[in-house]
Amino acid sequence: MQPLEVGLVPAPAREPRLSLWLRRGSGILAHLVALGFTIFLTALSRPGTSLFSWHPVFMALAFCLCMAEAILLFSPEHSLFFFCSRKARIRLHWAGQTLAILCAALGLGFIILSRARSELPHLASWHSWAGVVTLLATGGQALCGSCLLCPRAAGVSRVARLKLYHLTCGLVVYLTATVTVLLGMYSVWFQAQIKGTAWYLCLALPLYPALVIMHQISSSYLPKKKMEMLYWAALGKSHVLGPVSASVSQVSVSKQSPTFSVCQMDATEHSSCSGPWAGPLSRLRMLLSHSLSPCPSWPSRNNLLIGLLDLGHRGSGTVERRVPDEALLNSKTLIKALKSL
């Protein structure tokens, strides 16, 4: 029997109400800015007066509104569809991104026709070059998203890693689109209509939703996706170690100081362990031996450990757990959060 000391896993502290409402207010403001800036550009373009007038309209709809809202859909605090399930939000995300690509294609078509009719050269400014890069990157992201939507048909084996790449590249694509919009404000057409203090205000407006989205992805999604990669790595099939049986000797929850305290874990090999959870439990032992035991100060991985124990307990009769009811409730809540990633 090999005892493994895991250590304490502190529960997240309760957030002050002022901070919570400020964060929610910033999300609401991001929605209003995205919608307001799109309406402003549409009114400024006066669509229908020329071929070029449709270019800012469709590009604003594509990148300032549809793409921004499609990303904010997954925010737990800023989403307008927080009441929907994750599957429903994924479908709405796809609908928003598809609409963004269609609007971008229309905007590209109108600017090409306008330049051709006026006999003006193409790709003659930084704005046009940045727009080409943005469109190519958006197309690449759409292909990546298609692979995530149907991973078996696309032959994708590492879905969690591809999700991490999709999130990271999606942030880069949106920031590139924001830079393209800002470069468009340096054009002769825009500066002829907006001048002085109003021009600087317009320059700052697209930056606000970009900052909210950047904070949303970098502080929430990326750490969760890294945790999800560890989660699926631990649940993968193991060809190195034999089956294991794990037992938690004590899990305690204090109401005054809410913490999970996993005092000791005994990991022992059992030749009689069988069933679909034999491989995952082997991975669990390897994860404990090489990652968690020397580092009790990593709350995210220790939380992952408790979730894996709970999942293993529900899937195999060889895992024994003796915990009070309140710890069982928190453990189930934790594994539900892990599975919803």
Find all residues with CB under 8 Å of 121, minimum gap 6, and list them. 115
Q: Is 50 exceeded by the pLDDT of residue 329? A: no
| Distance (Å) of CA 241 to CA 25, 153, 280, 321 | 51, 32, 10, 22
* Residue carrying structure tokens 């940045």: 130
pLDDT given at position 96: 94
DSSP state of 275: S
Cβ of 256: how many Cβ atoms within 10 Å?
Answer: 5
pLDDT band at 328 (very low <50, low <70, confident <90, very high): very low
Q: Is 90 exceeded by the pLDDT of residue 206? A: yes
Task: Give the integer Cα–Cα distance in Å for 92 and 86.
Answer: 10
For range 86-113, the mean pLDDT: 93
Full DSSP string of 119-140: TPPSS-SHHHHHHHHHHHHHHH
Q: In what order do the strands lie in the sheet with 2-4?
A: 2-4, 265-269, 244-248, 320-321
For range 255-271, the mean pLDDT: 36
Cα distance from N-terminal residue to C-terminal residue, the chain: 34
| Distance (Å) of CA 15 to CA 22, 72, 299 | 11, 21, 18
Q: Is 80 exceeded by the pLDDT of residue 166? A: yes
Query: Which pTM does this prediction carry?
Result: 0.62
pLDDT digits (tens, 9 = 90+) for 28-44: 899 999 999 999 999 99
Q: Is 60 exceeded by the pLDDT of residue 246? A: no
For range 165-171, the mean pLDDT: 88
pLDDT given at position 109: 95
Domain residue limits, the chain: 17-229, 235-339
pLDDT band at 4 (very low <50, low <70, confident <90, very high): very low
pLDDT band at 102 (very low <50, low <70, confident <90, very high): very high
Say if CB 69 and CB 93 are below 8 A apart.
no
| Distance (Å) of CA 118 to CA 52, 114, 121 | 10, 6, 9
Please report how many Cα atoms fall inside a 13 Å half-sphere around the Cα of residue 289, on the Cβ side: 13
Q: What percent of the chain has pLDDT over 90?
A: 36
Task: Give the integer Cα–Cα distance in Å for 38 and 56.
Answer: 9
**36-50, 152-166, 303-317, range with greatest mean pLDDT:** 36-50
Tokens of 172: 């880069």
Find all residues with CB under 8 Å of 310, minimum gap 6, and list them. 321, 331, 332, 334, 335
Q: Which of 36-40, 231-235, 270-274, 333-337 has the lowest mean pLDDT?
A: 270-274
Mean pLDDT value across the chain: 71
Full DSSP string of 219-253: IIIHHHHHHHHHHHHHTS--SSS--EEEEES-EEE
Say if CB 244 and CB 281 are below 8 A apart.
yes
Class of residue 272 by CB neighbours under 10 A (exposed 0-12, middle 13-18, buried 19+): exposed
pLDDT given at position 112: 94
Closest among 161, 162, 160 to 141, alpha carbons compared: 162
CATH architecture under which domain 17-229 falls:
Up-down Bundle (1.20)
pLDDT digits (tens, 9 = 90+) for 208-240: 999 998 888 877 655 555 555 555 555 553 333
pLDDT given at position 289: 42
Q: Which of 24-33, 85-94, 124-133, 265-274 has the lowest mean pLDDT?
A: 265-274
